[in-house]
A and B are shown apart, each in its own frame.
Chain A
Amino acid sequence: MARTDIGKLSLILLFAPFALWIALLIILPQLGIGYISLREKVGPGEYTFGFANYIAFLSEPIYWNTLLRTAWMSILVTAMALAVGFPVAYYIAKIAHRRSRAALFLMCLIPLWVSDLVRAFGWIVILRETGLVSSFLQKIGLVSGPVELLYNDATVVMGLVYTVVLFMIVPLVSTLDGMDNSLIEAGYNLGGSRFTVFRRIVVPYAMPGIVAGCIIVFMLTAGSYLTPILLGGKNSMWFTEQIYEQFVTRYNWESGATFGVLLLVFTSFVVWLGLRLTGQSLASTVAKD
């Protein structure tokens, strides 16, 4: 009797920080945001409730175009991060020597020790018109005048891939690490080509890592603020910027909150759609034992 009580108590105590964190810092603020998003402003200090903010979002093409653009570019970033991250993860987990593995993994982590802001400014210094790349190209005679490499979509995508690729590599390394090499050997012994072994054995085995990595990367990208704003400049148009503008510059908390809710709902929907289209489910991948 006493023992089960202690067990229960320790369970409650262990669970409490997590529950408090979720309830106070995630659920409560989200409810607040949801509440504000349903508030309609009719005059100074006067409010009623309704869906006017959502209707305003739908009736203004600038807003939903920005949201679609953000989602589309985030998907692109996710795909590129997977394409870049998978070989790196495979090399670290399967090909590199056991001894150099830790060092390689650490090297991937090092950029995380510097804040996002500093890394974005690093890119600005390198890519700006009077920056390193431009002056190097002029020196070797490839271009005649200074070139501006900032303020376009390609730079934004590249900057984002650079920022998030790590979050793809880490889950992939840990899943691939658990794969028994004999599975691959068996595949070759049974006459499989490199491609067949990759497609039928490696990818299915790595699927939990791929799904987890893609979800993390997509969510991080869609919710990022600094990298697209700083590298995109006059052409950034990221949805988080719209949210900031509504809250801070236009004092319009109602529509800012609406945008916040819509970003959450829409990105969740994209993740769900992605899982459906690829025939995966959270239970069979991320939550797999």
Chain B
Amino acid sequence: MKTTFALAATTALALFMAGNAAQAETLRLLTWGGYAPDNVIKLFEEANPDITVEVTLSNNEEMVAKLRATGGAGYDLAQPSHDRIFAAQQEYNIYKPLDLSKIETANLAPNLLDGVKANATIDGNLYAVPHQWGTSGIVADISKAPNVKGWGDLCNPDYKGRTSMRLRRTILLGTAFSLGKDPFALYGDKAAYQTMLDEVTEKLIACKDNVKTYWNGGDDLSTLLLSGEVVVSEAWDSTAFKLYGENKNLVYVPPETGALAWIDTFVIPRKGEADDAAYKWINFVMKPEIVKLMSNSTGAIAAVSNGIDLLPDDKKAAVKAAFDEQDLANLKFFANIPAGLEDMEGKALERIKAATSN
């Protein structure tokens, strides 16, 4: 009798608490522009009437900076790229370990999940799962620059004053590959990495005359290419695919040394207050019918097994035009940045920015 009562009381209490928790939860999402389109939010809120979604748009650097400023509070789900998990967690402790049993991993592309697992596991705890992926490579106006093959063409004097790049770590890595190095293989050896960086820096300083200007975001890049001021540029594939829709001469070229691939992930900030809602969102947006809506908005490929097939038709055509099987097999996924290397790269970038040119 006593036990029954205790059991009933516990059950009642549990129900009461569950009921309380279920009332009007807010899911505060910190993500990229296009990663939480209105139609998906609407469907999610219809499926989960007790949850409202609040969206803040940001980018990699800002996400980490924001979470660092609050010690991981203020948001319930964030989406940094997979190489921004390890060092940020180790240094600032801003993420919460994920419970993989709450995520329907069967939907996820196994190779991407394994890649993220390898990059985002600290002391046996997993901190991120993949969401969308895409690549960085070259976009070229094939009517004016038909023979573009790789990163090195940004410094090709044939296109003097007609090229552009984004002065961030991607271009350092791309240039290193074009010089025949493998920067990821040198990650463990700081001295060798510095030697490689010096060589890359020298190359990019010499190249500065060739570059029209450095772009900062998708909009800069689009204007430079659509106005014809730039004919060859480093680019994100999603931006390049959008440009292809406007001008069929602007084609994305995966560099012969391999396009650099990034994966945007899901992480739960350390002081997130709506974990259940966060897991629900993750599982929701990975459903095939939602993936379609999401990819239409982001232009990137979802991290599910048949991600490319779930792209909208025009983007699918652009991807098929840009990549063949060999290019896909040759993708270079960003590896985790070991502590200290980012500082060295930052210095290199500063040196390039500070160099004088015409």
> Chain A interface (Cβ within 8 Å of chain B)?
44-45, 62, 65-66, 128-130, 148, 150-151, 233-235, 237, 242, 245, 247-252
Contact = CB atoms under 8 A, between A and B. Distances in A.
A150 B161 CA distance: 12
Contact of A44 (B90, B350, B351): B90
B350 A245 contact: yes
Contacts of A250: 342-343, 346
A45 B93 contact: yes
Given A233-B213, A237-B354, A148 B227 contact: no
Interface stretch (B10-18, B47-55, B59-67, B151-159): B59-67
A136 to B, nearest CB: 16
Given A44-B90, A245-B350, A249-B61, A148 B161 contact: yes
Contact of A235 (B90, B161, B356): B356
Contacts of A235: 356-357
B68 interface: yes
B168 to A, nearest CB: 8
B343 A148 contact: no
Given A245-B346, A245-B350, 8 more contacts: A44-B339, A45-B91, A130-B227, A150-B213, A233-B213, A250-B342, A250-B346, A251-B91
B interface, over-half SS: helix
Given A150-B213, A234-B214, A251-B68, A130 B354 contact: no
Contacts of A237: 353-354
A81 to B, nearest CB: 26
Nearest to B354: A62
B228 A130 contact: yes
Contacts of B68: 251
Contacts of A65: 354
Nearest to A150: B213
Contact of A148 (B65, B88, B93, B212): B212
Interface of B: 61-62, 64-65, 68, 88, 90-93, 161, 167-168, 208, 211-214, 227-229, 339, 342-343, 346, 350-351, 353-354, 356-357
Nearest to A249: B61
A251 B64 contact: yes
Nearest to B161: A148
A187 B227 CA distance: 59
A62 B211 contact: no
Contacts of B228: 130
A129 B354 contact: no
A39 to B, nearest CB: 14
B93 A248 contact: no
Contacts of A151: 212-213
13 contacts: A45-B92, A62-B350, A129-B227, A130-B228, A148-B212, A234-B357, A235-B357, A237-B354, A249-B61, A250-B342, A251-B88, A251-B91, A252-B346
Nearest to A43: B339
Contacts of B64: 251
Given A237-B353, A237-B354, A245-B350, A130 B229 contact: yes
Contacts of A252: 343, 346
Contacts of A248: 61-62, 65
Contacts of B91: 44-45, 251
The CB with the most chain A CB atoms within 10 A, among B62, B227, B229, is that of: B229
B208 A62 contact: no
Nearest to B65: A248
A53 to B, nearest CB: 13
A233 B229 CA distance: 14
Contacts of B65: 247-248, 251
Contacts of A150: 213
A210 to B, nearest CB: 34
A45 B65 CA distance: 15
A151 B208 CA distance: 12
Closest 5 CB pairs of A and B: A233-B213, A44-B91, A250-B346, A130-B227, A62-B354
